[in-house]
Amino acid sequence: MSSGTASLVGLLSVICCLWVTPLQKSKSVPAQRIDGRADSLLFIEKQALGSPLGNEIDRTMAIARSFLGAPYVHGCLDCNKYENLVVNLRELDCWTFVEYSFALAQTQNGGFDLFKSNLQQLRYWGGQIDGYGSRIHYFTGWLLQAEQYGMLENISKELGGVPYTKEVGYMSARPSKYPKLKDKKAMQKLKMAEKRINANKWYYIPQNRIANMEHLIQEGDIVCLTSAKADLDIAHQGFAVKKNGHIYLMHASSLAKRVIIARQPLAQYVASQRGQTGIMVARLKTN
């Protein structure tokens, strides 16, 4: 592949994408969900891959790798008029690829209902479905809540990150892009979420520093590409994979239309992306 083609591939593939109780103990979630028999069968298959493994990282990565080749679909959570828990293990975007892999790994012992309960806890603020505005729409918000669960740690600062001073507000500033924000309650909830995210201190590793710290990233870390847009936090995300002494990004690619492992090592891959400024890194916690 030529360098120009590689840059184009990288650019297009990046365009895709509180107090709570612990996930494994949360079994009483309202039955607001959309799923089917195909997904329940896939759940059994994916869960079997992770169950023999000892910790969350190994389970998450075994499940994530099993999605390689799965088709990419944009906006797969916005398929219904009313907000419900959508479960679609057959088609993924960059966010749901990470989220499903993580939620499946957390459901080590339990059935499909517990998986959906865990998924709902990850996807919605406080684990409660209350319209479009209750869903987490910024990935920093997802990281924030998962860290509050005690399930991961944002290690961007520890890896040598610098302050990420921008404030999110992309969606509330562009309501015409999101028809469901016509609902005043949804807009109010979104603005509250933006305020919650902006109240926290964030760090990121600038693009030109990634090569020097790439060796500190471990397989299974969640790698988030930070957006160059002034009021948007994350442009893309995936899992770190170690191969041939380098770290690569496993992600759902909008260009390849499937889940892939990037051809370039992480530092080179990120450098090829015009719409981003660097990365955040979160590490899953083990038992």
pLDDT for 184-195, tens place per residue? 999 999 999 999
pLDDT band at 25 (very low <50, low <70, confident <90, very high): very low
Q: Within a 13 Å sphere around the CA of 240, how many CA atoms are in the beta-carbon half? A: 26
Counting every residue, how long is the chain? 287
The answer to whether residue 30 scores a pLDDT higher than 50 is no
The answer to whether residue 3 scores a pLDDT higher than 50 is no
pLDDT of residue 81: 86
The answer to whether residue 5 scores a pLDDT higher than 70 is no
CATH number at residue 118: 1.10.3670.10
- In DSSP terms, 153 is beta-bridged to 283
Q: Are 250 and 238 in contact (CB under 8 A)?
A: yes
pLDDT of residue 6: 44
Mean pLDDT, residues 130-137 taken together: 98
Encoding tokens for residue 22? Answer: 């612990």
Under DSSP, the state recorded for 23 is G
> What's the CA gap between 269 and 248, in Å, rounded?
8
> What's the CA gap between 255 and 252, in Å, rounded?
9
- pLDDT, tens digit, for every residue of 194-250? 999 999 999 999 999 999 999 999 999 999 999 999 999 999 999 999 999 999 999
The answer to whether residue 72 scores a pLDDT higher than 90 is yes
- When mean pLDDT is compared across 69-83, 137-151, 232-246, the lowest value belongs to 69-83
Element (H, E) at 227: strand 222-227
Under DSSP, the state recorded for 256 is T
pLDDT band at 83 (very low <50, low <70, confident <90, very high): very high
pLDDT, averaged across the chain: 89
The answer to whether residue 14 scores a pLDDT higher than 80 is no
pLDDT of residue 17: 47
User: Helix, strand or coil for residue 25?
Assistant: helix
With a pLDDT cut of 70, the percent of the chain lying above it is 87
> What's the CA gap between 92 and 85, in Å, rounded?
15
181, 187, 193, 196 alpha-carbon torsion, rounded to 10° = 150
Token look-up 């944002």 returns 154
Q: What is the DSSP string of 98-167?
A: HHHHHHHHH-SSS-HHHHHHHHHHHHBGGG---SGGGB--SHHHHHHHHHHTTSEEE-TTTTT-EE----
- If one counts every other C-beta atom within 10 angstroms of the C-beta of residue 112, the result is 17
Query: Cα–Cα distances in Å, from 128 out to 24, 123, 136, 217?
Result: 16, 9, 11, 33
- When mean pLDDT is compared across 35-39, 142-146, 236-240, 272-276, the lowest value belongs to 35-39
Angle between helices 94-106 and 37-50 (to 10 degrees): 60
Q: What is the DSSP string of 229-242?
A: STT--EEEEEEEEE
With a pLDDT cut of 90, the percent of the chain lying above it is 78
Domain that holds residue 29: 3-284
Q: Within a 13 Å sphere around the CA of 159, how many CA atoms are in the beta-carbon half? A: 28
pLDDT of residue 273: 84
pLDDT band at 34 (very low <50, low <70, confident <90, very high): low
pLDDT of residue 193: 99
**Amino acid (one-letter) located at 65:** R
pLDDT band at 286 (very low <50, low <70, confident <90, very high): confident
- When mean pLDDT is compared across 20-34, 41-55, 99-113, the lowest value belongs to 20-34
- When mean pLDDT is compared across 32-36, 59-63, 85-89, the lowest value belongs to 32-36
The answer to whether residue 77 scores a pLDDT higher than 60 is yes
Please tell me the total count of domains within the chain. Answer: 1
**5 contacts: CB under 8 Å, gap ≥ 6:** none
162-163/258-261 β-pairing = unpaired
The answer to whether residue 99 scores a pLDDT higher than 60 is yes
- Range 57-68 burial, b when 16+ CB lie within 10 A, else e: bbbbbbbbebbe
